[in-house]
Amino acid sequence: MRDDFAADLLSAYLDHWSARNGQPITPTLLQADLAELGGLLLLAHRLKRLLRPVEPAPAFVATLKESLLAAAAARTGRRPALWRRPPFVIGATLGSLVSVAAVLMVVTRARTACRSAA
């Protein structure tokens, strides 16, 4: 039997079992499938009966929150700002050089035009 089929069947069984308040269902499968899944279904039934949800201790929640916030702050502190990254710095430098060159060319042409007119 395929593993994904067994996982899907077990998931459907647990979903149905928990929705019916613990009343197990009898799946309509081939006998070979039931024999293979019998142990898994029994384990799932026992786990559902024995395990109960628990709330974490408030101290653990507070510590976890502090450590996650500290990790996030440390992570954001390591990365340079977007405008300080090399591609942006190179692009800004080239843009500035082109602008300065264009202004110098306009000024030079204007002076040359004034000299030739005079």
- Convert the pLDDT of each residue in 20-68 to its tens digit: 555 555 555 445 556 667 777 788 888 888 888 889 999 999 999 989 8
1-18 in b/e form (b: 16+ CB < 10 A) is eeeeeeeebeeebeeebe
Above pLDDT 90, what percent of the chain?
A: 22
Q: Measured at the alpha carbon of residue 89, what is the angle toward residues 85 and 92, in degrees to the nearest 5?
A: 145
Tell me the pTM: 0.31
Query: For residue 63, what pLDDT is reported?
Result: 92
pLDDT confidence of 90, banded at 50, 70, 90? confident
Looking at beta carbons, which pairs linking 93-102 to residues 24 or more positions away fall under 8 Å? none
Domains in the chain: boundaries? 3-50, 81-118
> How far is Cα 86 from Cα 89, in angstroms, rounded to an integer?
5
In this structure, what DSSP letter does residue 21 have?
A: T
